[in-house]
Structure formats: C-alpha cells, structure tokens
Structure 1
Amino acid sequence: MDRIFTVDEARAIMPVLLERADAFVTMRGEMAELAHELRSTGTSEAGGLAEAKAYEARLEEILGWFEERGIEVKGIAPLLVDFPAVLDGARVRLCWLEGDRDLAWYHHDELGFAGRRPLP
C-alpha cells in the first residue's frame, strides 16, 4: 500500500527534498558532460568509466531516498516526483517538478501530469 501524505507532511519534507533534488540535478549535469566527452573524444578531465559509474551509483542513491519515503519518482530529466495523498476524499498526487521551490501543485491519479492544478 502506498504511503498517503497530508499536504502538511509533504511540505515538511520539502527542505530536505530540495537539497536532494539540487544535488541530483547538479550530479546529473556533471554525468551528462562526462558521458558526452567520453563519447566524443574518448577522454575527459573529469575522469573515465569509473567516475561515470560513481555518478550513476550516487544518482541511484538519491532516487532511492525518495522511494524509501514513499515519494514516487516519475521522471529524472526534469526531476518529477509525486506524493500520494487524498484531497476532498479523492486520491491525488501532490506534484513537485524540478525548478519549483515549494509544493504547490496536485493532480488526480487518473489524470497524471496533464491534469496538474494549483493546490487549494
């Protein structure tokens, strides 16, 4: 069974979530640059295959942090996460998208991201 968050519970997690998300975004960019350089030239000042694997492991560790808390990772570029919740008796997902600095959106389960609307 999914963990069900209240809006207050999800918002209380936001400061740590933002730290993890910022680390993820930075690392994702560094890994992309390293991978591009390795594909293009075969070398990189940032390292080689071992460093790329270390980036992958760290990214997976950060994603695991979300999942361990019942936060659903829906996308990684951009980073998109949902908190299962109930609003006015309906099952919804409180929706956070990379770049947001607060938890301010939700969507009904059956609508997904396309049905995203501001929290009341």
Structure 2
Amino acid sequence: MKPVVTFTLEEANAMLPELQEDLFKLQLLTQQFEMKFELLHQLTKKHREGTLPADNGTDDPFFELESQLEFMRMEVELAVGNFERKGVLLKMINPGLIDFPSVLNGEEILICWKQGEEQAAYYHGYDDGYKGRKRYPDAGLAE
C-alpha cells in the first residue's frame, strides 16, 4: 500500500535536518545493540565451553544483558516507526536512505535522499529503486 502523505521537494528538504538527527540517533542505537548482541554471543559461547567465570549467584547469568537487548530492540522499532509516522520511508539505516512519497508530472514517485548528500535532489519510481534514481528537475544541484 502506498502512503497517503506526499511531499514537495521543498518540504522534503525542510524535513531533512530533523530526519538526519533522528537517523544519527538510530544509527548509534543499532551500533550499541550490535555490540551488546556480540557480547552476549561471546559470553554464551564461553559459558558453553565452561570458561566463563562463576556467575553472581543468579540462575540466569545472561538475564540482565538479554533484558537490555530486548529494551534496545523496542527502542529501535519505535525509532524506525517514527520515520513512518512522519510519512517518510526509511529504506536503509546504514548508510541512511530515505524516500519521500511525491507526485511529479502526475506520476507517483519517491524523492530519494542518501546520507552524505546535502539535500534531496533525486527521485525514482516505486518499482525502480535506488539504482533507478534520476535528478529531480530544478533541484539546484550541479550535474
């Protein structure tokens, strides 16, 4: 199902500073999640091998770490959902790739922004994807 909200190029670019900040926070959160997940993986491996030091007396030495991961997973889901609630499509977290539903010459398109670009200046059709990007007419960027 295609989104109901559409953006002009100007509206998309006006939202970018806020979206970039949200994206940066999400990237940090996913990085922290991945690090904790790897730590849990290493600890469970050591536990199976019998090389993990004695636990702190709990039945489940991984409960706290697993709880932190579950909470972080919920935070990631909420952050990803915030993009959708703003009417934009978060296509990739790393590197950031955001699409803005729009209409150009009567055709439904997606204005496309990739992290590192100063502004949104490209678009593609719903079925074309990133590789089908074209420069948005009058986007103000040098070719």
- Give the TM-score of the pair, scaled to structure 1: 0.83
Task: Count residues with an aligned counterpart.
Answer: 117
Match of 1:14 in 2: 16
CA distance in 1, matches of 2:71, 2:85: 21
Match of 1:94 in 2: 111
C-alpha distance 49-98 of structure 1, shift in aligned 2 (>3 A): farther
What is the aligned-residue RMSD (CA, Å)? 2.0
1:110 shift after superposition:
2.5
Match of 1:4 in 2: 6
1:88 shift after superposition:
2.8
- Give the TM-score of the pair, scaled to structure 2: 0.71
Give 5+ residue unaligned stretches, structure 2.
45-51, 53-63, 138-143
The structure 2 residue matched to 1:37, chosen from 36, 39, 50, is 39
C-alpha distance 17-52 of structure 1, shift in aligned 2 (>3 A): same
Match of 1:108 in 2: 125
Q: Percent identical across equivalent pairs? A: 29
CA distance in 2, matches of 1:22, 1:77: 10
Match of 1:55 in 2: 72
1:96 shift after superposition:
2.2
> What are the equivalent positions in structure 2 for 1:17-28 lying under 5 Å apart?
17-28=19-30
